[in-house]
Amino acid sequence: MANSKFVATVSPHLHERGQTISRGMTDVLVALTPIAIWGIIVFGFNAFYVMAVSIITAMLSEVVMRWIMGRKATLVDMSAFLSGLFLALILPVTTPLWVVAIGAFLAVGVGKELFGGLGKNIFNPALFGRVALMISPLWLYTTKFVKPFYWKASGFFTPIHASINNAVAGRVTYKGITGKVYVDVVTHATPMSLLKSGRMLSATVTGPTPVGATYITGAGRPSFWSMFFGLKSGCIGEVSVFLLIIGACWLLYRKTIDWRIPAGVLGGALLIFLVTWNNPLYQMVGGGLWLGAFYMATDWVTSPMTRRTKWIYGIGIGVTVALIRLISPLPEGVAIAILNWNVITLLLDRYVAEPKFGEVKKPLFNKLPAIAKAPKPAQGKT
């Protein structure tokens, strides 16, 4: 026994038990499960189809892209699964499944694998896929929002296109192109677009009263509490702020995410909403702010590494979201804000200096050490 060879590696020789990449991914998955289930409850079984197609396509794209590039398969780290689920959660339930598949490929195949795989991607893959769809000719397919529990009229398992076809009120032909005109039951405005249009056009939504709609206030918008608990129209996973917070608590408890980033995002957005006094509390529970703050902005790969830079990054996203909502013509801007700051992340890490242990003075910007131009004064022992 004493003569057999032992394993020789560089120190340290211990590793934190269970501390693997897939552990972090599984934590996020656990946190997202109630949100995904709530999405299916609110938006019918079609939400499940969207998730399934998105996840399967995401995983397939990873396998195929890595195979083409001659890299080892890395499905076990769960990141493709997670990106697929994330993409589904930020799409409306009406998105045709083939559009979902294209989005999932753009997210994982292009947004992640073409950049070099997990760890090398600059953009959050799911957001990359979502915004790629948003700025493509397919954008029309991703903007039809339904009101919560729309399926009460058509049935829980009724395919979405049947629901939509039933809701077609008529057809309009303009310059040879025929378009469908839907009743409000299907293309329901989100609270954010209502807030936007309500502010900009000072008009409220007209149309048939939604089924069982005690959640609508006089202005045609859901109340604060129905927004908070998830009785509103929107993307599959963004509607219930309550469940998002519960999942976030799990992630914070597991130390999978850093509290500074979500605190910065929410704080930065709240600050702007308070300063401009534009329905601050209502804005805070609307749209994808919480999903973005706790689940998207905290993405390991695309967020900065030090305490300072995390604050800058978080607050930056929050402020950008608020400005997009208030100034730009878009009703919602969490995805775009996070993608913007994903790019800035690399600059933040490189140039915003964090003092080392015992370092008293630190230059504002991280400068590369000079090489051999002037001999440095001797520093301690060699």
Which residues contact residue 335 at a Cβ distance below 8 angstroms, ignoring those fewer than 6 apart?
A: 90, 127, 130, 131, 134, 288, 292, 296
- Is 380 one of the binding residues for another protein (CB under 8 A)? yes
Rule CB under 8 A: is residue 4 a binding residue for another protein?
yes
DSSP H or E run through 173: strand 168-174
DSSP bridge partners of 173: 178
Measured distance CA(341)–CA(339) in Å, rounded: 5
Does 24 engage in binding with another protein (CB under 8 A)? yes
- Considering only 2-10, 52-60, 155-163, 331-339, which stretch makes contact with another protein by CB under 8 A? 2-10
Tell me which stretch binds another protein (CB under 8 A): 20-28, 179-187, 198-206, 324-332.
Answer: 20-28
Q: Under DSSP, is residue 178 helix (H, G, I), strand (E, B) or coil?
A: strand
Q: How far is the CB of 17 from another protein (least distance, A)?
A: 8
Torsions phi, psi for 249 (to 5 deg)? -60, -40
Closer to another protein at the Cβ: 54 or 302? 302
Cβ 168 vs Cβ 180: under 8 Å: yes
**Contact call for residue 300 and another protein (CB under 8 A):** yes
User: Judged by CB under 8 A, which of 69, 119, 161, 253 binds another protein?
Assistant: 119
- The residue (of 6 and 174) whose beta carbon lies closer to another protein is 6
Residue 366 binding another protein, by CB under 8 A? yes
CB atoms within 10 A of CB 84: 30
**Count of CB atoms situated within 10 Å of the CB of 103:** 33
Give yes or no for a contact between 272 and 324, defined as CB atoms under 8 angstroms apart. no
What is the smallest separation between the CB atom of 201 and another protein, expressed in angstroms?
43
**198 Cβ contact partners less than 8 Å away, ≥ 6 residues apart:** 204, 219, 220, 221
Q: How far is the CB of 375 from another protein (least distance, A)?
A: 9
Q: How far is the CB of 269 from another protein (least distance, A)?
A: 23
Q: Which two tokens stand for residue 10?
A: 């560089």
> Is 379 among the residues that bind another protein (CB under 8 A)?
yes
Out of 21, 101, 134, 344, name the contact with another protein by CB under 8 A. 21
Nearer to another protein, 140 or 374 (CB): 374
Q: Tell me if 75 contacts another protein by CB under 8 A.
A: no
Of the two residues 2 and 140, which places its CB atom closer to another protein in the complex? 2
Which of the stretches 41-49, 162-170, 205-213, 302-310 binds another protein when contact is defined by CB under 8 A?
A: 302-310
Residue 180's beta-bridge partner residues?
Answer: 171
Cβ distance to another protein smaller for residue 175 or 356: 356
Name which position in 218, 372, 373, 374 contacts another protein (CB under 8 A). Answer: 372
Helix or strand run (H / E) with residue 311: helix 307-327
Q: Which of 67, 73, 98, 120 binds another protein (CB under 8 A)?
A: 120
Which of 149, 291, 151 shows the shortest CA–CA distance to 226?
A: 149
Under the binding rule (CB under 8 A), the answer on residue 19 touching another protein is: yes
| Preceding omega of 96 cis (within 30 degrees of 0) | no
Q: Using the rule CB under 8 A, which residue among 137, 218, 358, 363 binds another protein?
A: 358
| Integer angstrom CA distances of residue 30 from 24, 100, 222, 248, 294 | 10, 23, 29, 10, 14
Applying CB under 8 A, the residues found at the interface with another protein are: 1-17, 19-21, 23-24, 74, 77, 116-120, 258, 300-303, 305-306, 349, 354-360, 366-369, 371-372, 376, 379-382
